[in-house]
Amino acid sequence: MADIFVSYARADRARVAPLVAAIEARGWSVWWDPDISPGQEFDLQIVAELKVASAVLVVWTPRSVQSRWVRGEARDGAERGILVPVRFDAAELPIDVRTLHTTDLDDWNGDSGSPLFEEVLRALGRLVVRESGSEPRAAAMTAAPPSRDPAAAPGRVSICVLPFANMSGDPEQEYFSDGITEDIITDLAKVSALSVIARNSAFVYKGQNVDATQVARELKVRHVLEGSVRKAGGRVRITAQLIDGSSNDHLWAERYDRILEDIFSLQDEISEAIVRALKLKLLPEERRAIERRGTDNVEAYNLYLMARQYCVNGSDWASRPAEATVRLCTRAVEIDPHYARAWSLLANGQTTLRFGLGRPGDDGLAAAERALALDPDLAEAHAARAKILTEYGRIDEASDEIDIALRLDPESYEVNRSAGKLRYRQRRLPDAVRHYEKAMELLDTDIHATGMLVSCYIAIGDESAAHRAAQIAVERAEKAIALDQNDASALAGGAYSLAVLGETERAKTWMNRAALIDPENVNARYNFVCALAAHLHDTEGALQMLASLLPLMSASFVKYAMVDPDLDTLREDPRFQALVAAAEAQLSRG
């Protein structure tokens, strides 16, 4: 991966090329879109490169300020504190980056020794040095250009951890092998000498028959870790092998066969073995960070992994995932009352049952605050608290909590999904798009956030992006249905996206099938209303279904419907207004 990611509009390529050449001449590697490998998925490589860059150089021009991609990449860099903006043609900057110092390069003319260009180099140099952990050196600006190989970057060795294969013979054990993979990625990311490819980029290869050299070439890493997990009864077997991506040589391989209670020490052993095989030094504080897992109890950990699988794959209003999450996490915190992540997940489940489904019981606030008392830096707990505050109308406080969560962990799926929901309810749709895009990238099985992204894009008039997201949602729904033919939520979410894509008959088939499988699924039926109203142009059918549905919806669900852009085509209809008035009156009577 490169030191510096250059964000720009393709129409400005001729102007940007001399800038890139001048930066590379100073000794840093630069990534811009001509570096995309032939046949590689465009979006995936952009995401991978952006995540690992030490600095993001955005080139503002009248063209680039109109680009959704450039604005999004600039926001990502600004949020991570690594954005260096330059400007040509007195371009009017996007409002969310106007407070950042921007260097005007209209008078640059390709002079690599100009004071303006030196100013840009100094800003980039501070970030590259900070990221590498090296001390600043006067020679940094004039060093010989390094190899494009990311492993040649000072102090950083690049690695991708491929999803460990589930060898248990039971698809329902997938949560465990995925959890092990995610933990190893997290552990290795704590090693300052390693540059670790993010989960969402690695999980693109899940279920695919790819070799290590292909992965290394596509993600531009030196090493690849692959393996498998077999969990049966009270035992677990993990195989792992570390491969040199350039030569396909095996640097290290091991098979572990242990009792399940040894899983934590086993994960520590794997991480430390990789560090040794790469001839790196594990600092004492890094070792301590790796060994902190939130719980020492294997049963609580296993319950948490199962609960998270239900939670992230369910919608914000689905009853069965929420019920399972609450049951599993309640048991997990009974076993280990100090398990902050389990408390945070419990809060999410309780919030869905109380507000999304209108059931009596805990609102989740106590569980969220318990999680924060145990771990004030747990981003997911701040996001959970934000969801609850939103339900009570405390929007400013909820926004503060989301901002904290994003600062603590901008790469968290749960945090970005919660941020997207809050901004959606505020009708801040461009912000919702940004977070739902991130959530979609971070979890390859996600259907809910992807469907929400479709709705957002349609509302802001970006039909091309809406179709792209809808296609992804349908593909993910198809995979979920292949695993469970009775997954009504996947059928309903997929039906909505099929309607967006104009596949009317297939959308109706999926809707009918979901209704037969789970006729009491309020969230699925609401998806049908949205599809009928916004995309199938069936106002009568949408109003008829909504009439039967509104009395079953919680107060929170009704409030959500009031801002849902998918229902905008119905809002001027007197019948819709009468239905809403009746629902609000019923809710006010308690």
How large is the average pLDDT for residues 479-483? 85
Per-residue pLDDT at 209: 81
Per-residue pLDDT at 154: 42
Region of poorest pLDDT, from 93-107, 196-210, 494-508: 93-107
Helix (H) or strand (E) holding 285: helix 284-291
Instruction: Identify which of 33-47, 83-97, 221-235 has the greatest average pLDDT.
Output: 221-235
Q: Do domains 157-293 and 450-590 have the same CATH topology?
A: no
Judge whether 532 and 547 are in contact, CB under 8 Å.
no
User: Is pLDDT at 39 greater than 50 in this prediction?
Assistant: no
List, in order, residues 6 or more apart from 377 with CB less than 8 Å away. Answer: 408
Q: Name the residue ranges covered by the structural domains of the chain.
A: 4-146, 157-293, 450-590
Q: How do residues 500-533 score in pLDDT, each as one tens digit?
A: 999 999 999 999 999 999 888 888 889 899 999 9
Domain 450-590 class, CATH top level = mainly alpha
How large is the average pLDDT for residues 227-248? 89
Judge whether 16 and 67 are in contact, CB under 8 Å.
no
Instruction: Report how far residue 31's alpha carbon sits from residue 1's, in angstroms, rounded to the nearest whole number.
Output: 8
* Strand 223-232 relative to strand 194-196, pairing: unpaired
Instruction: Report how far residue 154's alpha carbon sits from residue 171's, in angstroms, rounded to the nearest whole number.
Output: 42
Per-residue pLDDT at 15: 83
Judge whether 117 and 86 are in contact, CB under 8 Å.
no
Per-residue pLDDT at 211: 86
User: Under CATH, what is the fold of the domain 4-146?
Assistant: Rossmann fold (3.40.50)
Nearest to 540 by CA among 489, 576, 494: 576
Per-residue pLDDT at 590: 58
- At position 538, the amino acid (one-letter code) is D
Q: Which tokens in the block code for residue 213? A: 């050299």
Per-residue pLDDT at 521: 85
Q: How do residues 253-268 score in pLDDT, each as one tens digit?
A: 989 888 888 888 888 8
Q: How do residues 284-333 score in pLDDT, each as one tens digit?
A: 777 777 777 788 898 999 899 889 888 776 666 678 888 999 999 999 99
Per-residue pLDDT at 275: 87
* Strand 250-259 relative to strand 235-244, pairing: antiparallel
Q: Which tokens in the block code for residue 208? A: 């695919």
User: Is pLDDT at 37 greater than 60 in this prediction?
Assistant: no
Q: How do residues 120-160 score in pLDDT, each as one tens digit?
A: 888 888 787 654 444 333 333 323 333 333 333 444 788 99
How large is the average pLDDT for residues 193-198? 85
**What share of the chain in percent tops pLDDT 90?**
32
292-318: buried (b, 16+ CB within 10 Å) or exposed (e) per residue?
ebbbebbebbbbbbbbbbbbbbbbbbb
How large is the average pLDDT for residues 417-445? 88
Which single residue is written with the structure tokens 């600095």?
55
Which single residue is written with the structure tokens 């747990």?
378
**One CATH from 3.40.50.10070, 3.40.50.300, 3.40.1450.10, 3.90.199.10 for 157-293:** 3.40.50.10070
How large is the average pLDDT for residues 350-370? 91
Judge whether 509 and 477 are in contact, CB under 8 Å.
no
Instruction: Report how far residue 162's alpha carbon sits from residue 227's, in angstroms, rounded to the nearest whole number.
Output: 8
User: Is pLDDT at 54 greater than 50 in this prediction?
Assistant: yes
For residue 445, how many other CB atoms are within 10 A of its CB? 17
Instruction: Report how far residue 205's alpha carbon sits from residue 221's, in angstroms, rounded to the nearest whole number.
Output: 15
Per-residue pLDDT at 117: 81
Helices (H) and strands (E) in the chain, counts: 25, 11
- Is pTM, for the whole model, over 0.85? no
Question: Using 50, 70 and 90 to split pLDDT, how confident is the model at 112?
Answer: low
How large is the average pLDDT for residues 339-346? 95
93: left (phi over 0), alpha (psi -120 to 50) or beta: beta
How large is the average pLDDT for residues 238-259? 90
What is the average pLDDT score of the chain? 84
